[in-house]
Structure 1
Amino acid sequence: MSALTRRTRLVASALTAVALLSVAACGTDEPDAAGAAGYNLTADQNRITTDPVPEIAAEVPQSIRDRGTLIVTGSAGTAPPLRFYADDDKTIIGSETDFAHLLGDVLDLDVELTAADWAQNFVRVDSGEADVFISNVTVTEERKEKYDFSTYRLDNLAFEVKKDSGIEVKDPKDVAGLKVGVSSGTNQEALLVEWNEQNVAAGLEPTEILYFQNATDYYLALGSGRIDAYFGPNPSASFHVIQAGETEIAGTFSGAGPDLQGEIAVLTKKDNGLIEAINAALNHVIENGTYQQVLDRWGIANEAVETSVINPPGLPKKQ
């Protein structure tokens, strides 16, 4: 995960991307206030809810129970559907906020959503300013030294291409000779660079890697043919495919590489006593079906986990 830009850029890029996607879907019905493809992009969210579970709520540390609020930090993101600003430019919405509210429901706590730059989210948890960090956080071995994790999504990456382009990416050699966009400082960049080095060493054509930080920029490049594919988080790609209708997924890969399935998790300060309640709440919503409803609502059902696990194997430390 890369550091994210500040709020002004987040607002502009997320909402402009949504607008562009609607324009790209020419020939379809004009989107209503809920957005193209039926997604609710307004501040008035029809969130999935569930009932409190007293025995799980009782596991929450007393200081948080007395406060009555679960303080959730995260990044607004640069593209839907994970965590972004609604069309009022101030309300944070998306699948990650829906999961936060489901946790609040089970734990019988109000949810306070806050946003910060990527690195500052860790600082907020360190200082106790926030209880949990829920914002597409990948489990890594390095992070596990300071934090506890409870998983709730697979960490998958996707190659998004123009529909009917004929491009399929099943293994590293399939990117040889392609122009591929990627965001710098991300897991996907590291994988793409590694694959390109392997291909060149094997005598294959090099991949031309182009760098983008904003959704609007890489979708314009993909639409104009300046790049053949964009390699990014699977949720954003899946959301865009459904909404725009002019692209498709050419291949998906674990964000942790070929030897490990990466996982996205709720992050808490290590040994603060909260992760057990979070884990129990996540497994409860998985069992009662509301978890799946959130995934379906945002078009990311292909990242479902069967069970939430505390502190699974994470991305290895860099050598």
Structure 2
Amino acid sequence: MRTTFTRASVLAVAAALGLAGCSSPSNADTASTGEAVVAIPDNSAIIGGIQKDTALANKVPADIAKDGKLTVGTYLYFPPSMFLAQDGKTVIGNDNDLMLAVGKKLGLEVDYQNMDFAALITSLQSGRVEATMAAMNDNAERQKTVDFVDYLMSGIALVIQKGNPAGISSPDDLCGKTVATTTGTINQQWAEAQSKKCVEAGKEAVAMFVTDSDTTNQNQLRTGRIDVLLQDLPTAIYLERTIDNGKAFEVVDIPVIQGAPYGIGINKGNPALRDVISEALNALVADGTYGKILEAWGTDHGAIKEATINGGA
């Protein structure tokens, strides 16, 4: 599956992040990013107005319904999907708001378990968490071990220093360059495959800089220790607009690489939970709540029309 949106098509939408969803300054939280202060949309009224759907709630697996809580594994350093407010405790982001909305529809509280991105699937398989939501791409390889309820479209973008000192204009320019990714991501797999292509073409391999920290990777790019940061498009645009008041980074203006859906991960042994989350999300799409949440965050460029199961290729 491949999306057709590009950097240019989302930049104008992303500019709404600082304005949408806040009825007044007193209702808006802010997140400091370099010199910029970005208003955070307040969707509490939207989420608070969601009514429990008794028919759907009755389909929630008995052990979860009895507990009244859905334990969700996540990675809390990935704006605008999932991250922490200025207080360092409050979880915010478009993924967070969507998960809270699903919880409200099913009559469940959401209990987040923060962990390294690479540990999410194993934690799901071991039963440490009942679901995952962390801007994780649904793809055929991951479908071998877990199921996904797809909720947003994204893809890989190339983030570079402002002014493009490394001269990066396409993936072919990455040969011999140092590229940063986060451990266990599709971005890492793509970079490794791109490096192999470079070598096969008689060029230098891509030098990989792989960490568990997006912040570390961003700092490496800001200081010129790496040439490119691979990032999911919504986050890439967010970084371009906010870091150092938009003076630090830019996104290479090319079609999104490996467009694919983000998915809520569910253990393959729990199809009932998978199906009811899909139904709840589709109900939120149908009544407009889903669209309002994404619009407030400026991520509606990736909105889906239906929450499919295992729709990634």
> What's the TM-score, normalizing by structure 1?
0.72
* Structure 1 stretch displaced more, 305-314 or 160-169: 160-169
Q: Is the 8 A contact 2:133 2:263 kept in 1?
A: yes
Structure 1: runs of 5+ lacking an equivalent: 1-17, 26-35, 315-319
Shift of 1:296: 3.2
Q: What's 1:91 paired with?
A: 90
Distance of aligned partners of 1:57 and 1:201 in 2 relative to their CA distance in 1, 3 Å threshold? same
1:271-305 CA-partner distances (Å, limit 9, x unpaired): 42111111111112223332233333334333322
Distance of aligned partners of 1:299 and 1:161 in 2 relative to their CA distance in 1, 3 Å threshold? farther
Shift of 1:161: 2.1
1:128-168 CA-partner distances (Å, limit 9, x unpaired): 45332222233244543443221112241111123443856
Letter in 2 for 1:64: I
Letter in 1 for 2:290: Y
Q: What's 2:40 paired with?
A: 39
CA distance in 2, matches of 1:225, 1:117: 25
Distance of aligned partners of 1:296 and 1:227 in 2 relative to their CA distance in 1, 3 Å threshold? farther
Q: What's 1:289 paired with?
A: 288
Shift of 1:252: 5.2
Q: Is the 8 A contact 2:72 2:133 kept in 1?
A: yes
Distance of aligned partners of 1:222 and 1:282 in 2 relative to their CA distance in 1, 3 Å threshold? same
CA distance in 2, matches of 1:200, 1:93: 42
CA distance in 1, matches of 2:205, 2:128: 46
Letter in 2 for 1:268: I
Distance of aligned partners of 1:286 and 1:227 in 2 relative to their CA distance in 1, 3 Å threshold? same
Distance of aligned partners of 1:48 and 1:72 in 2 relative to their CA distance in 1, 3 Å threshold? farther
Q: What's 1:187 paired with?
A: 186
Q: Is the 8 A contact 1:183 1:189 kept in 2?
A: yes
Distance of aligned partners of 1:113 and 1:204 in 2 relative to their CA distance in 1, 3 Å threshold? closer
Is residue 2:262 matched to residue 1:264? yes
Is residue 2:199 matched to residue 1:196? no
CA distance in 2, matches of 1:208, 1:116: 26
Q: Is the 8 A contact 1:239 1:299 kept in 2?
A: no
CA distance in 1, matches of 2:121, 2:90: 22
Q: Is the 8 A contact 2:117 2:212 kept in 1?
A: no
Shift of 1:22: 2.9
User: What SS class does the counterpart of residue 219 from structure 2 fall into?
Assistant: helix
Q: What's 1:130 paired with?
A: 129
CA distance in 2, matches of 1:236, 1:107: 29
Q: What's 1:62 paired with?
A: 62
Shift of 1:230: 1.3
1:147-203 CA-partner distances (Å, limit 9, x unpaired): 322111224111112344385644x32334544333344322222232233234334
Computed over aligned residues only, the root mean square deviation of the Cα atoms, in angstroms, reads 3.1
Is residue 2:279 matched to residue 1:280? yes
- When you count strand as a share of all residues, which structure comes out higher? 2
Map 1:210-289 → 2, pairs under 5 A: 210-244=209-243, 245-246=246-247, 247-250=249-252, 251=254, 253-254=256-257, 257=258, 261-272=259-270, 273-289=272-288
Distance of aligned partners of 1:269 and 1:177 in 2 relative to their CA distance in 1, 3 Å threshold? closer
Q: What's 1:3 paired with?
A: none
Distance of aligned partners of 1:108 and 1:216 in 2 relative to their CA distance in 1, 3 Å threshold? closer
Distance of aligned partners of 1:195 and 1:114 in 2 relative to their CA distance in 1, 3 Å threshold? closer
User: What SS class does the counterpart of residue 193 from structure 1 fall into?
Assistant: helix
> What's the TM-score, normalizing by structure 2?
0.73
Letter in 1 for 2:194: W
Structure 2: runs of 5+ lacking an equivalent: 1-30
Q: Is the 8 A contact 1:150 1:309 kept in 2?
A: yes
Letter in 2 for 1:94: G
Q: What's 2:34 paired with?
A: 22
Distance of aligned partners of 1:127 and 1:205 in 2 relative to their CA distance in 1, 3 Å threshold? closer
Letter in 2 for 1:300: T
Shift of 1:309: 0.7
Letter in 1 for 2:310: N
Shift of 1:262: 2.8
CA distance in 2, matches of 1:129, 1:180: 33
Q: What's 1:302 paired with?
A: 301
Q: What's 2:22 paired with?
A: none
